[in-house]
């Protein structure tokens, strides 16, 4: 489109203020502004302004939610054969190259306050390995274990895309074949004020932010990642988020149960830390498995108890999923593809005030951001599977700089898990009076992806003294 058409299109949408400073901009800045505007889905934005900006969409959960049915972390005796079958099937699918893994790393990581992509954050308790390295080693080790490389799809965001690609290149892809790592960048949405006017971050830059982890669904299709998966014969896609160092990029039991139950989409649940923990809650609504965000779960349900005193809604989401590739295609490709619901968040977003031309850093939330959530695809699936796992085995997110869900708690939990694995192999791990391991422990994914593998790999049991820092690699 030429400049005049873009301007009149923007004007037609009542967003002509975006061109207020046009005449002050140099040619490069003008090009940048046009590029930003071109990235905006103006149709979708216009549709959402009355429902999601000027008012809030209904957040009440439709019918009364029921707790979700789930496969237990440890099978009951009657389920042991099924679990063994699922594990064998998962291993077979991985060995046949039918499983891919996907990490979403397009978020802004504002709470952590780290100025590089979150995946570069050094997290492991002894060696300080960054998140990307840990996951890359796990993907590499999976390939070695099953004799076939697992392709890895890495979703970046507009600000993390270039740095992430450069980082992987600088690290020689951590030893992975570069042709098995596929980067794709998610879409954006502009922040708008409460009247629905798009905010300028600078005179020549729109205040754009990534469109939520649910943006991965469309981006998989538009980037060609789904085509690549089809070409490779991928049947199951494992999904995890970059901020959980305990996440397993490819869990054979989970992949196998997903396939054995012929699920289209699956999820992992862990017991919640407390009634109001800021995680999604699995529930069954109108017979469909879904995730109710903590902000949407009514308090009386969050505090509800079973007759034995246990929490009624205790299945917290750790944002680990499995998708059948054909389900991803039905969600994102062509006629009849499903539009996920948009969510609004009111946030503080710096902006250029049109009247005074000054950039303002607000002290109060001033803008609406619009996002898609990946778990909204769950109720779309006719067949969905939920597997419970031990929290200490698979979940310790890095969200905040300090306190809960911080680097300190993630390092503690990585060290705790390593200590548990060592003990399960018969190693004597000293413990302090509060029961915590006395020392700091780290096991490289290259050595073992789980406690069982560690058993086979430990030719000699290490002797550990209180306070030791032990790395097994």
Which of these, 99, 349, 369, lies nearest to 215 by C-alpha position? 369
Helix (H, G, I), strand (E, B) or coil at 358: coil
Instruction: Return the number of the residue (154 or 386) whose C-beta is nearest ligand UTP.
Output: 154
Measured distance CA(283)–CA(314) in Å, rounded: 9
Instruction: Return the number of the residue (186 or 281) whose C-beta is nearest ligand UTP.
Output: 186
Instruction: Return the number of the residue (97 or 215) whose C-beta is nearest ligand UTP.
Output: 215
Which of these, 378, 461, 457, 449, lies nearest to 140 by C-alpha position? 449
Contact 376, 265 (CB under 8 A): no
Instruction: Return the number of the residue (186 or 415) whose C-beta is nearest ligand UTP.
Output: 186
Q: How far is the CB of 186 from ligand UTP (least distance, A)?
A: 6
Handedness of CA 157, 163, 169, 174 (dihedral sign): negative
**Where are any strands of DSSP class E within 186-242?**
188-190, 200-202, 205-206, 208-210, 236-241
The H or E element containing residue 153 is: strand 152-156
Tokens standing for 53? 């900006």
Tokens standing for 409? 């708690």
Q: How far is the CB of 327 from ligand UTP (least distance, A)?
A: 20
Q: How far is the CB of 50 from ligand UTP (least distance, A)?
A: 23
Residue 113 CA, distance from chain mean position:
18
Which residues are at the interface with ligand UTP (CB under 6 A)? 104-111, 118, 155, 157, 186, 210-213, 215, 241-243, 399
Q: How far is the CB of 162 from ligand UTP (least distance, A)?
A: 15
Instruction: Return the number of the residue (197 or 213) whose C-beta is nearest ligand UTP.
Output: 213
Measured distance CA(168)–CA(120) in Å, rounded: 10
Instruction: Give the DSSP letter of residue 52.
Output: I
Q: How far is the CB of 116 from ligand UTP (least distance, A)?
A: 13
Tokens standing for 379? 């109720």
Instruction: Return the number of the residue (90 or 407) whose C-beta is nearest ligand UTP.
Output: 407
Which residue of the chain is nearest ligand UTP when measured via CB? Answer: 107
Instruction: Return the number of the residue (111 or 383) whose C-beta is nearest ligand UTP.
Output: 111
Contact 182, 150 (CB under 8 A): no
Q: How far is the CB of 273 from ligand UTP (least distance, A)?
A: 16
For residue 6, report the phi and psi dihedrals to the nearest 5 degrees: -65, -45
Instruction: Return the number of the residue (124 or 164) whose C-beta is nearest ligand UTP.
Output: 164
For residue 291, report the phi and psi dihedrals to the nearest 5 degrees: -110, 125
Q: How far is the CB of 452 from ligand UTP (least distance, A)?
A: 28
Q: How far is the CB of 26 from ligand UTP (least distance, A)?
A: 31
């Amino acid at each position: 489109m030429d400049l005049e058409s873009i301007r009149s299109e923007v004007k037609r949408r009542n967003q002509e203020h975006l061109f207020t400073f046009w005449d002050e901009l140099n040619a490069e800045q003008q090009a940048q502004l046009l590029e930003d505007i071109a990235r905006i889905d103006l149709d979708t934005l216009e549709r959402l302004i009355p429902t999601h900006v000027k008012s809030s969409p209904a957040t009440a959960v439709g019918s009364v939610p029921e707790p979700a049915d789930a496969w237990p972390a440890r099978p009951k005796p009657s389920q042991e054969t099924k679990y063994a079958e699922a594990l064998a099937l998962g291993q077979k699918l991985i060995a046949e190259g039918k499983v891919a893994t996907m990490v979403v790393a397009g978020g802004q990581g504002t709470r952590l306050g780290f100025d590089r992509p979150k995946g570069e954050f050094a997290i492991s308790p002894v060696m300080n390995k960054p998140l990307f390295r840990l996951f890359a080693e796990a993907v590499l080790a999976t390939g070695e274990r099953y004799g076939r490389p697992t392709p890895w799809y890495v979703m970046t965001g507009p600000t993390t895309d270039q740095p992430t690609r450069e980082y992987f290149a600088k690290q020689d892809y951590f030893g992975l074949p570069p042709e098995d790592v596929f980067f794709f960048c998610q879409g954006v949405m502009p922040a708008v004020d409460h009247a629905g006017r798009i905010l300028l971050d600078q005179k020549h830059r729109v205040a754009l932010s990534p469109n939520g982890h649910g943006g991965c669904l469309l981006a998989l299709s538009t980037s060609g990642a789904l085509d690549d998966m089809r070409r490779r014969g991928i049947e199951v896609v494992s999904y995890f988020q970059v901020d959980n160092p305990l996440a397993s990029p490819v869990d054979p039991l989970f992949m196998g149960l997903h396939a054995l139950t012929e699920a289209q989409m699956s999820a992992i649940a862990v017991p919640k830390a407390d009634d109001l923990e800021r995680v999604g809650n699995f529930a069954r609504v109108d017979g469909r498995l879904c995730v109710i965000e903590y902000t949407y779960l009514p308090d009386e349900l969050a505090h509800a108890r079973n007759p034995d005193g246990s929490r009624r809604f205790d299945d917290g989401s750790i944002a680990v999923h499995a998708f059948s590739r054909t389900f991803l295609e039905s969600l994102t490709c062509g006629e009849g593809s499903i539009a996920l619901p948009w969510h609004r968040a009111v946030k503080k977003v710096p902006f250029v005030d049109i009247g005074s031309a000054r950039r303002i850093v607000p002290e109060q939330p001033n803008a609406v951001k619009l996002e898609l959530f990946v778990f909204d695809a769950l109720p779309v699936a006719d067949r969905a599977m939920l597997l419970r796992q031990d929290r200490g085995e698979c979940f310790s997110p890095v969200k905040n700089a300090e306190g809960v869900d911080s680097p300190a708690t993630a390092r503690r939990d990585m060290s705790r898990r390593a200590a548990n694995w060592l003990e399960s192999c018969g190693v004597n791990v000293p413990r302090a009076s509060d029961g915590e391991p006395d020392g700091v422990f780290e096991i490289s994914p290259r050595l073992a992806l789980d406690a069982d593998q560690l058993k086979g790999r430990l030719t000699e049991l290490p002797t550990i003294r209180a306070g030791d820092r032990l790395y097994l690699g």
